Amino acid sequence: MIIDMIKIFITGPPGVGKTTIINRLYETLKLYGYNPGGFITYEIREGGVRVGFTIKSLNTNKEGILAHIKQPNGPSIGKYRVNLKNLEEIGVKSIIDSLKDNNVSIILVDEIGPMEMTSIKFKEAIRHLLDSDKPAIMTVHYRISTQLNKLFYTERETKLYMVTRDNREAIPYIIWRDIRSRGLLGDR
């Protein structure tokens, strides 16, 4: 097992706070002078009801619709249709660009889920990320978390954090302590 650059996965039921954890880690990394790359997704709500998701590149701040109930075409996942163009031009591009950019110290991916898995280019980007020398923190849909080894086997060390309502406040600090104690981000 290659243990030089760990790949961290965060999973838990929908709405438990996985994206909030990634956001907190992003802010902490920036505060300490690190340059995280990758992407984050956000819910789109209308009248308190979730109607879709946006995707935002941490590299460029480019943002677009990932999936929406009114998306006219694309793969269907539940009541949503996935915008493959935005997924690939924003999400996949942010992963690939982060892998190539020596200034990017860690890659954040929010999330690996059924919507993202509709894209072959996304799956290939995750494969490259897992095989890379860069540390990464990725949220993963709870249904996919049990299939990670089957879908994306890697010889890199991996760690899976299960988020619950009871531990969600502590998880960002636990992950931060873990990556700092391993020296995964170099000296700052």
Evaluate whether residue 68 is within a structural domain.
no
Q: What domain range is 169 assigned to? A: 2-41+87-181
80 in a domain, yes or no?
Answer: no
- 97 in any annotated domain: yes
Residue carrying structure tokens 């969600």: 168
Contact 58, 38 (CB under 8 A): yes
Assign 34 to helix, strand or coil.
Answer: coil
Structural domain includes residue 51: no
With left for phi above 0 and alpha for psi between -120 and 50, is residue 61 left, alpha or beta? left
Flag whether 129 is in a domain: yes
In a domain, 29, yes or no: yes
- Residue 129 maps to which CATH number? 3.40.50.300
Q: What is the pTM of this model?
A: 0.91
Q: Say how far residue 162 (Cα) sits from the centre of its chain.
A: 15
- At 84 the three-state DSSP class reads helix
Nearest residue to 41 (alpha-carbon basis) of 132, 138, 120: 138
**Cβ-proximal residues to 30 (8 Å cutoff; 6+ apart), any chain:** 36
pLDDT of residue 3: 34
Q: Is residue 103 part of a domain?
A: yes
Nearest-angstrom CA–CA distance, 157 and 103:
23
Q: pLDDT tens, position by position, for the chain (188 residues)?
A: 333 567 899 999 988 999 999 999 999 999 999 999 999 999 999 999 999 999 999 999 999 999 999 999 999 999 999 999 999 999 999 999 999 999 999 999 999 999 999 999 999 999 999 989 899 999 998 877 666 656 666 666 788 899 999 999 999 999 999 888 877 666 54
Instruction: Please report whether residue 50 resides in a domain.
Output: no
Cα–Cα distance measured from residue 77 to residue 84, given in angstroms and rounded to the nearest whole number = 12
The tokens for 13 are 């039921």
Q: Which residues contact 147 (CB under 8 A, 6 or more apart)?
A: none
Structural domain total, the chain: 1
